[in-house]
Amino acid sequence: MKVSVINPKKVVYEGNALMVVLPGEDGELTMMDFHESALCALRDGLVRIQEDFGGEKRGKRFEVPVISIKIKRGIARILANELIMMVET
């Protein structure tokens, strides 16, 4: 899925991800490819992004680096396999 993390001044992250874990107001949320459409409030915490490096590495045993972004709060919207987060960092 395509992932964008944006704050008022710049694009913090943009890329493709296999999985994203969000600090939701009601607990952690895990978003994966073709997740159901959703809109949620985000609380203070870490957004964890497991990057997708393409099909050639899927299914093989290797460590996929996880990107962590500290946020204060924000909102996230997933629609049509695209996750957009507007956050305060």
Instruction: Tell me the DSSP string of 6-72.
Output: E-SSSEEEEEEEEEEEEEETTEEEEEETTPPPEEEEE-SEEEEEEE---GGGTTS--PPPEEEEEES
- Quote the pLDDT of residue 60: 53
Query: Please, what is the average pLDDT of the chain?
Result: 89
Q: What is the mean pLDDT of residues 52-68?
A: 66
Q: What is the mean pLDDT of residues 47-68?
A: 72
Q: Is the residue at 82 inside a domain?
A: no
Structural domain range at position 62 = 2-31+38-75
Q: Is the residue at 24 inside a domain?
A: yes
Q: Is the residue at 18 inside a domain?
A: yes
- Quote the pLDDT of residue 69: 94
Q: Is the residue at 49 inside a domain?
A: yes
Q: Is the residue at 81 inside a domain?
A: no
Q: Is the residue at 66 inside a domain?
A: yes
- Quote the pLDDT of residue 3: 96
Q: What is the mean pLDDT of residues 30-58?
A: 86
pTM: 0.85
CATH of the domain at 55: 2.60.15.10
Residue 75 has pLDDT above 90, yes or no: yes
Q: For the chain, what is the domain count?
A: 1
